[in-house]
Structure 1
Amino acid sequence: MAKLIIIVDKAQDWAPFHQYDGVMSLPAYLKWSAKQKQRVRVINLCRQSHYLGSGYYCSLLAEARGHHVMPSVRAFNKFNRHEIADIADEVPQALLQQLNKALTEETTCQLTFNIYFGETEHKALKKVASFLFEAFPVPILRVELQKKITWQVKTLKIGSVNKLTETEQSLFGNILEKYSHKIWRLEPTNRKFKYDLAVLVDPKEKFPPCTPKSLELFVRAAKKAAMDVEQITARDIHRLAEFDGLFIRETTAVNHHTFYMAQKAEREGLAVVDDPSSILRCGNKVYLQTLFEQHKVPMPDGLMLFKQDEDNLERAADSLGLPLVLKIPDGSFSRGVIKVKTLTELRSTLVTLFEQSAIILAQRYTFTEYDWRIGVLNGQAIFACKYFMARNHWQIYKHGKAKTESGGFSTCAVNEVPAHVLDAAIRACAPIGDSLYGVDVKQDGDKVYVIEVNDNPNIDDGVEDLHLGNKLYDILVEDFIRRIELKR
């Protein structure tokens, strides 16, 4: 667990709040020494936020000591007239429309309010507050709105804790406690857990990458290794600093909160699986096609088809033959992957797909009864399954209007997998990273083709863990501890 330090200019600035032994002045902080390998979080509440003021120096020196501080020096540097004006101009129109709708009953033309760690007491302004906090991550952000024809963001300033009213102090204290609730806990000398891990889930997800049972087995393995695990959701993005690591067990995408949370966690110094680079690289099949070509990873013959090219049909049919497979670059669970058998189907399908993406990937069709799924962690294969095609279908998943069907599976020991299949899977992961991946490989006799690398592979009880059992979860936990210790 990270040690939280709160820096103030004067002790009286903290007088209205709970007593906490981690509150200190800037000189006291510079004399203080963290325990070896202890991760330190600093909340900088110094009064002087201008360049070379006490607040600026606090963040500068905290970063020099390798501590994670809010606001960062980068955040302080944003507070010049030009960048603030630029960010204010970039507030999405949808949020401004919501702002105007929320403030229709306001009779004044100006409104000033505070945002504390991304939250505000004005319920109607919650989304605006969240957006501004992401752009300007400071403990207290003072916002001035102005109405001419419509409401707009006029000014943004770093707020001071010593200038808060009694009512504002209560709200700030409550939100700070929520933001980093562990600071109010006295740390026992015989603390049971050495590491804190957040597991990101979406309780409403239809096809999550872990079953509830597999998550339960992972938690058991973690507790044996002195790791505390808490399941979080997208709403907990501002709590990431409380943890040592983030394990994303929700289907990822680049233009999605999973990617933003991975980025934020990485900036906070957490060990992250899936890391943002892996999400970015695995999340686009066109990217993977190009990457595999450069690194000579075996894959099906393929072409990138561009919306503006008029010879797409001829190039695809002549080069790859029919039937062939068309893929949306960011599809998942067999969605956006379509087999076409005739030129007529090819033409109509391309028209539809080009409405979703400027580039479509076309690949030669190769039928196999199953795809290998090789689980790779830190460059080592840790599990192996055969995923069979859905009944009377050419893919593992068959999406219908009422339900989705999938084929069967067969799990085996890694050492039972043909060597050339394992080699292709590990080679495919090497240029992507050292995270947790699920590599889909087709085997056609002596030939193998890597179909894709998934950054967020399924680990379901009774499927991927069928051979190793609880040992699979031990491996995952051990690797997280390795990553956390490296960060420290």
Structure 2
Amino acid sequence: MQQLIVVSRPEDWPLSIEGVERVLARDYLTDPAWSERRAVRVYNLCRSYGYQANCYYVSLLAAARGHKPLPSVATLQDFRVPAIVRLTGAELARQIESSLKPLQSDEFTLSIYFGRNLARRYDRLSRALFNLFPAPLLRARFERLAEGWGLRRIGPISFEDIPETHLEFVGEAARMYFSGKRPRAGRAKTARFDLAMLVNPDEAHPPSNERALKRFERAGESVGFHVERIRPDEIGRLAEFDALFIRETTAVNHHTYRFARRAAAEGLVVIDDPDSILKCTNKVYLAELLQRHGIAAPKTLLVHRDNTGEVENRLGLPVVLKQPDSAFSLGVVKVETAEMLKRTLREMLRNSELVVAQEFLPTAFDWRVGLIDGRPLYVCRYHMARGHWQIYNHDDAGDDDEGLADTLSVGEAPEAVVDMAVRAAGLIGKGLYGVDLKEIDGRVMVIEVNDNPSIDAGCEDSVLKDALYREIMGVMLKRVTARKLGNA
């Protein structure tokens, strides 16, 4: 991947960094040779960021050429809208307050160079702002208000705006930044595209174990990707990549959804795409969707404050109650008595307007069919945890017990199970899904459709081995190629 710093004048970037080429904006805009280049990252350090100025057109044409501009045109537009700058989320607001609370003054200016600040105590805040407004050189201004510190303004700065005492640090920050993005030795010749794999090392129940992550990396590289893991605090780096593969448990009110949204807005191929996350992570939506399309499922009732008395009459006892956004069996409760039903519903409805109630259908195992692009890849039987009615048993002491699993080839699995899974997944999209089903007396029913399904080495890959990972990476490569050619 070629790396360019585009400037209005040579003195706008006097630093020399190995592997980075400095180009004048006029040359980048007018020389037809740049239109033919591929695999280019453009770091736009032009002097004027105004609408239709040189800087604007550098980022605009970079995007049109399939290059990766930083900042993007969308970020440039954000700088021009004060309401967007001041619309900080709760997470950033907490970070601002935590970082600036010790200050005695009522105003503070923060210089951010490639996501870093001279004072290490402001590194987390600098990185958070860089993630929201990805630009190489930034300056943020804060003001202490009655309710606490707030961001008043943020925008890009030129090299001449950097104090002389900061120049040595800027050079160091730039060298670290550029060296961190350079493809690893031996891979630059074969990698056609860059793929970011979002992984959270601190996640208790990740969708893929370490061995599986390494197999995804090898598979991606074998089909033509340079694969790089990124962490939850690196959303600002998405513009560097052609595709995003999320291997962290997803939720709507969560950074995984923000990653998916940002990546889609930047034109990346994304799995899991934001639409799939929205649909799959809410069990209320899934229950309504399956019912509307006539997909067999356990008897289900959407419970609200006015119909709690109907649950026992319509579904009987015991009954299963589910929070709309539950995952890994968390937020899923079996209630066996009328008193327990009343108490549990009261607690759940404090946090959500709707709760999903389903008839209790005990089975020794659940089927899981993994699919991508509408094609089944693997079929698993997830057996219930020992002495428990679910696959996962989360006890009050924090100890987790998980049932055994065995994997079948698609051809070995019951045809009715596979066909039902394909139908259900088709209602969501063409992403990577895991469809959970139960089979009772020959009748197949869909429990739910999961985005971001578990793929662990030694379990889901037991039949296809490395071919499973290559299939998934191959689909992503086809989509990236199609998008680059303008066919998607």
The answer as to whether partners of 2:379 and 2:410 remain within 8 angstroms in 1 is yes
Q: Which amino acid aligns with 2:117?
A: T
Secondary structure at 1:328 match in 2: strand
Tell me which residue corresponds to 2:165: 167
**Pairs within 5 Å for 1:388-403:** 388-400=383-395, 401-403=397-399
CA separation in 2, counterparts of 1:19 and 1:402? Answer: 50
User: Do residues 201 (structure 1) and 196 (structure 2) align?
Assistant: no
SS in 2 for 1:329: strand
Letter in 1 for 2:166: E
In 1, distance between residues paired with 2:376 and 2:67?
35
- Tell me what 2:138 maps to: 141
Give the aligned length.
Answer: 481
User: Using the alignment, how far apart are the partners of 1:367 and 1:97 within structure 2?
Assistant: 50
Q: TM-score, normalised by structure 1?
A: 0.88
Structure 2 residues without counterparts, runs of 5 or longer = none
Matches within 5 A, 1:30-69: 30=29, 31-33=31-33, 38-69=38-69
Which of 314, 332, 352 lines up with 2:347 in the alignment?
A: 352
Partner of residue 121 from structure 1, selected from 118, 123, 131? 118
Separation in 2 of the partners of 1:363 and 1:186? 50
Residue 374 (structure 1) shift: 0.2
Deviations 1:308-334 (A, max 9, x none): 42x31x221222222211001111111
AA of the residue aligned to 1:421? V
1:318 aligns with 2:316: no
Aligned position for 1:426? 422
Higher mean C-alpha displacement, 35-44 vs 241-250 = 35-44
Which segment is superposed worse, 404-413 or 94-103? 94-103
Deviations along 1:379-429, one digit per CA (max 9) or x if unpaired, are 000000111112221111111225211222221110122222112111111
CA–CA distance in structure 1, aligned partners of residues 88 and 281 of structure 2: 31
- Deviations for 1:358-391, whole angstroms, at most 9, x for unmatched residues? 2111112212221100000110000001111122
Taking the aligned partners of 2:40 and 2:412, their CA distance within structure 1 comes to: 45
Task: After TM superposition, give the deviation of residue 226 of structure 1 in Å.
Answer: 4.2
Shift of residue 94 of structure 1? 2.8
Does the 8 Å CA contact 2:3/2:19 hold for their aligned counterparts? Answer: no
User: How far is the alpha carbon of 1:183 from its aligned partner?
Assistant: 6.7
Instruction: Give secondary structure in 2 for the equivalent of 1:138.
Output: coil
Question: What is the CA-CA distance between 1:343 and the residue it aligns to?
Answer: 1.2
* Structure 1: runs of 5 or more not aligned: none
Alignment of 1:446-485 (within 5 A): 446-485=442-481
In the other structure, the counterpart of 1:339 is 334
1:440 Cα offset (Å): 0.3
Aligned-CA RMSD value:
2.9
Residue 363 of structure 1 is matched in structure 2 by: 358
Query: Is contact 1:88–1:154 with CA below 8 Å preserved after alignment?
Result: no
Q: 2:109 aligns with which of 109, 112, 127?
A: 112
SS at match of 2:446: strand
> Structure 1, residues 159-180: CA drift from partner, whole Å, max 9, x if none?
1123223333333333334444
Q: What TM-score do the two structures reach when normalised by structure 2?
A: 0.88
Maintained 8 Å contact 1:177/1:184 = no
Which residue in the other structure is 1:417 paired with? 413
* CA gap 1:183/1:354 in 2 versus in 1, 3 angstroms: closer
- Look up the match of 2:223: 225
For the 8 Å contact 1:324–1:364, the answer to whether it is kept is yes
2-structure distance, mates of 1:90, 1:219: 34
Q: 1:40-91 CA distances to partner (integer Å, 9 max, x unpaired)?
A: 4322111012233222232333344444323233333333464267437989
- Bigger drift between 287-296 and 444-453 goes to 287-296
In terms of mean alpha carbon deviation, does 86-95 or 136-145 score higher? 86-95
Q: Percent identity?
A: 38
Cα distance in structure 1, aligned partners of 2:409 and 2:240: 37
Q: Which amino acid aligns with 2:122?
A: L
How far apart in 2 are the matches of 1:250 and 1:12?
Answer: 43
Q: Which amino acid aligns with 2:57?
A: Y
Quick check: 2:40–2:67 contact (8 Å CA) kept in 1?
yes
